[in-house]
């Protein structure tokens, strides 16, 4: 830098150098120091032109990264958007997983709060020793056995000696409709005393509900149907607690049983229950046999006892005249015309209560045609599922049914059964079952009729855990599976035979 300064001064003429030096020395020194300060940066010196050029180059270099940064912004925005979407999706997934986890935690918490029988070990097979103990236990008895003396006399005298028929009518709710428990009673009594027929049946498949395993039915048309536990049933309900109504002129109805014991399960006599003024009906069976039956008018229904020319297990009904436009069907009884033994009628309606039967006058009008020697009544489960149970009203309904049946069948004996322990709405043990049992026991004792106290026999609510341990309940803890119902059937059969043998 100093050399450059000396070279610059050397170009001044000699005669002027001294004058310049003398006059401008202070200014010159200031100028030198200023120039030195300007051109000296970071220990380096740059000419003014080079400095300007450097600034221009620096701007270009600065612009290039800015352009690159701007260009890179678009892919960065795309990547940022993708990342944001992924983060949003992850949040949703986390929320879903969180909701599922919360639901699972709540479910586990609810399960933990449920009674212990919900978390017991998987069901085991009931040992034969325990099964025999329950069936043959001293506690497995009917109360008031003396009032069953008439039934014992009829079974011993009329069936075994005089070759007559004893008719038992079992009335109930869904526990009876499926015919799992009552099948055991029917087959057990018929095995000992003789088979007088399958008894009353109804084409439940045409009413869109469950039917006994051995009964089938079909039709060429859809039917209007109703049952007595329905509010405002569209069809009157008769002896089976159900009713069918067809409006087509060419209606056909087939109903029969699938034989379990071969020829033992056939029948050669039927008892029809139809609506009033049903007129004449065609009956066909075994493919070739046909018979015309004209119904006998009754007060509000028709009934007919029809003898067939040969045994069969299936029967078809159809309207006789082309202008026949209405037909109501209430049930049919499969019987044997020359057989002695037990005729066991099973009548069950899903959801039925004592009040359901009591409010159906046609049921009591028709049931008299079955000529019952013994009534078994299995109701009370549905009353116990109600929000409010009035013990006095419930007792009144029990007495009303017994009174109506006694008026129809004055010589018949009665057996009332109590419901099994169950859950209320599938959550906790239903305490109303105990109340129902106590009312049934009280009324039975006052009316001097027999009671089969299944609730107490298996140990009350403690019995529920035992029955669940061996897998006898269905998931609702109200109904039983086939094994559970069969156990009840064998227990009631054993208790009944103790009083009649």
Q: Where are the domains of the chain?
A: 2-45, 130-196+340-501, 199-338
CB 440 within 8 A of CB 398: yes
pLDDT at 213: 95
State the chain's mean pLDDT as an integer. 82
Nearest Cα neighbor of 303 from 270, 336, 345, 344 is 270
Give the torsion through C-alpha atoms of 40, 44, 47, 50, to 10 deg.
Answer: -130
- Judged against a pLDDT cut of 90, whether residue 109 lies above it is answered with no
Sequence-separated (6 or more) residues with CB below 8 Å from residue 306: 269, 270, 271, 272, 283, 291, 293
Confidence of residue 230 (pLDDT cuts 50, 70, 90): very high
Nearest Cα to 170, choosing from 407, 342, 303? 342
Q: Residues in the chain, how many?
A: 501
Q: What phi and psi values does residue 363 have, to the nearest 5 degrees?
A: -60, -45
Q: Which residues on adjacent β-strands are paired with residue 45?
A: 40
pLDDT score, position 425 = 81
Query: How far is 501 from 486, CA to CA, in rounded Å?
Result: 22
What's the whole-number mean pLDDT along residues 2-6?
42
Go through 211-225 and write b for each residue having 16 or more CB atoms within 10 A of its CB, e for each that does not: bbebbbbebeeebeb
Q: Report d(CA 376, CA 357) in Å as an integer.
A: 14
Integer Cα distance of 343 and 335 in angstroms? 8
* pLDDT (average), residues 327-351: 96
Q: Given the structure tokens 């489960």, which residue do they identify?
A: 381
Q: What are phi and psi of 96, to 5 degrees?
A: -65, -50
Residues 267, 270: Cα–Cα separation, whole Å: 8
C-alpha dihedral, 233 to 235 to 237 to 238, nearest 10°: 170
Interatomic CA distance for residues 452 and 419, integer angstroms: 10
Residue 30's pLDDT is: 54
Whether 459 shows a pLDDT value over 70: the answer reads: yes
Q: What is the pLDDT of residue 327?
A: 87
In tens, the pLDDT along 111-162 reads 444 444 444 456 789 999 999 999 999 999 999 999 999 999 999 888 878 7
**CATH number of this structure's domain 199-338, picked from the four choices 3.40.718.10, 2.40.50.140, 3.40.630.180, 2.60.120.1360:** 2.60.120.1360
More confident residue, 249 or 58: 249
Confidence of residue 369 (pLDDT cuts 50, 70, 90): very high
Whether residue 61 has pLDDT greater than 80: no
pLDDT at 437 over 60: yes
DSSP label of 268: E
At the topology level of CATH, where does 130-196+340-501 sit? Rossmann fold (3.40.50)
Closest among 127, 131, 125, 128 to 490, alpha carbons compared: 131
CA atoms within 13 A on the CB side of 417: 26
The pLDDT > 70 percentage for the chain reads: 74
Tokens of 40: 């000296």
Q: Which pLDDT band holds residue 223 (cuts at 50, 70, 90)?
A: very high
* Alpha carbon distances (Å) from 375 to 170, 214, 344, 416: 6, 23, 10, 8
The span from the CA of 399 to the CA of 401, in Å, is 6
| Mean pLDDT for the stretch of residues 168-197 | 97
**Which segment of 244-253, 260-269, 375-384, 478-487 scores lowest on mean pLDDT?**
244-253
- Measured CA to CA, the distance from residue 280 to residue 272 in angstroms comes to 12
Mean pLDDT of 39-51: 45
Is the pLDDT score of 94 beyond 70? no
Element holding 243 (H helix, E strand): strand 242-246
* pLDDT value of residue 259: 86
- The whole-number pLDDT of residue 322 equals 53
């Amino acid at each position: 830098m100093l050399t450059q300064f000396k070279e610059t001064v050397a170009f001044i003429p000699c005669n002027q150098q001294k004058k310049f030096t003398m006059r401008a020395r202070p200014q010159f020194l200031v100028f030198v120091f200023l120039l030195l300060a300007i051109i000296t940066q970071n220990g380096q010196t740059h000419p003014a032109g080079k400095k300007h050029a450097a600034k221009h180059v620096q701007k270009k270099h600065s612009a290039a990264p800015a352009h690159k940064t701007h260009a890179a912004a678009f892919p960065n925005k795309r990547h940022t958007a993708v990342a944001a979407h992924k983060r949003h999706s992850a949040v949703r997934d986390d929320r879903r997983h969180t909701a599922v986890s919360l639901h699972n935690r709540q479910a586990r918490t609810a399960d933990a709060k449920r009674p212990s029988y919900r978390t017991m070990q998987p069901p085991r097979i009931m040992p034969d020793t325990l099964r025999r103990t329950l069936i043959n236990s001293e506690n497995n008895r009917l109360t008031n056995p003396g009032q069953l003396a008439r039934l014992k006399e009829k079974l011993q005298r009329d069936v075994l000696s005089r070759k007559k028929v004893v008719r038992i009518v079992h009335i109930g709710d869904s526990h009876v409709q499926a015919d799992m428990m009552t099948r055991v009673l029917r087959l057990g009594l018929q095995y000992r005393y003789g088979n007088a027929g399958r008894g009353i049946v109804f084409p439940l498949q045409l009413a869109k509900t469950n039917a006994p395993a051995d009964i089938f039915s079909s039709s060429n048309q859809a039917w209007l149907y109703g049952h007595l536990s329905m509010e405002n049933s569209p069809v009157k309900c008769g002896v089976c607690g159900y009713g069918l109504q067809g409006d087509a002129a060419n209606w056909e109805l087939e109903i029969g049983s699938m034989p379990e014991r071969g020829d033992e399960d056939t029948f050669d006599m039927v008892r029809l229950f139809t609506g009033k003024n049903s007129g004449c009906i065609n009956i066909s069976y075994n493919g070739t046999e046909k018979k015309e039956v004209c119904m006998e008018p009754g007060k509000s229904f028709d009934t007919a006892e029809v003898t067939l020319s040969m045994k069969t297990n299936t029967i078809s009904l159809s309207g006789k005249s082309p202008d026949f436009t209405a037909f109501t069907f209430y049930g049919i009884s499969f019987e044997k015309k020359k057989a002695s033994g037990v005729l066991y009628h099973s009548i069950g309606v899903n959801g039925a209560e004592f009040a359901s039967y009591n409010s159906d006058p046609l049921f009591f009008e028709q049931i008299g045609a079955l000529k019952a020697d013994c009534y078994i009544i299995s109701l009370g489960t549905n009353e116990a599922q109600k929000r409010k149970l009035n013990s006095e009203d419930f007792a009144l309904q029990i007495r009303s049914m017994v009174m109506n049946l006694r008026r129809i069948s004055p010589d018949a004996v009665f057996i009332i059964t109590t419901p099994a322990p169950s859950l209320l709405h599938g959550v906790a043990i239903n305490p109303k079952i105990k109340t129902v049992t106590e009312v049934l026991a009280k009324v039975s004792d006052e009316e001097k009729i027999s009671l089969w106290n299944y609730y107490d026999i298996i140990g009350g609510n403690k019995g529920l855990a035992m029955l669940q341990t061996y897998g006898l309940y269905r998931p609702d803890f109200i109904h039983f599976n086939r094994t559970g119902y069969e156990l009840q059937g064998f227990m009631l059969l054993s208790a009944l035979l103790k009083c009649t043998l």
